[in-house]
Structure 1
Amino acid sequence: MVKSTVRFPEPVVEEIEALVEDGVVESKSEFHRFCSEYVLAQLDPEFEPETLDFEELEAQLIRDSTGPSEGDGISFLESVLFIRKHALRGNVQDAEDFIDHHYDPHDRDAVLLEELLSFYHDSAPDSAATPRRSVQPEQR
């Protein structure tokens, strides 16, 4: 296997470590492998996950998640896209309202969405650290 290093905010790491401590996943690496393959499988229906017990992990981590209420029909990925879109446009309050309306405050998905939102909220609007799409190619 190829080794890759990724940095995550501390609250995200703490949530993942809690899943390991609770025995939901065997290790942080297993969690990261599962998440990567899960997203790839959502994007490409022909992608075949190689993680051992992928379906069991999917059932435990995704399908059994309390996430949005039943009638909402919103996937976590759709929620991430919604939060990101509003945050990039400076509509932080709308993004916060979305999380409050669709998620239980103690749900792990809500924690992850709030952490994502804080990434945008903590960055100054004109800061170079704020991720923004540019219409013009970067000048060098």
Structure 2
Amino acid sequence: MPSRYLFYVIILIVAFLIIWIGKESFTQPGVGDLDLEFEEMAFYRNENNTGPVVRVYAVYAEDTIWNVLEEYGQFMPHTKYGNTKVFFFDSKENSPLEISPEEPYFDKMYNQYCIGKYEKSSMGDINFVKYPFRK
């Protein structure tokens, strides 16, 4: 009899762990949990899967809450030895709709509307700059 109770206790513990791990896996925080409205206007990713993967985003942000902008950048995909850049713009109408693979990534006429630049380098270093094109 006691071994039967032990068996049921172990089954209950395993079931609890499976449910808990499943819940944690599917309820991770993401971009949708941030306090601002974001809209990805343009995106570029090179097709090189064997070397460094370069990702460049142009994103509309409704406000300049700097820590939320930086959090958005941290949610963007990043590949080891790759580079991810996110440019934030304060206007949908004045955001680039096309991104090129090399600098400058978009037409210079959009520079005045760029409110922030988030970059995660190939070594995992994070750099966030407010108004990157203002002198």
* Structure with max Cα Rg: 2
More strand by share: 2
Q: Same fold (TM over 0.5)?
A: no
Higher helix share: 1
TM-score, normalised to structure 2's length?
0.24
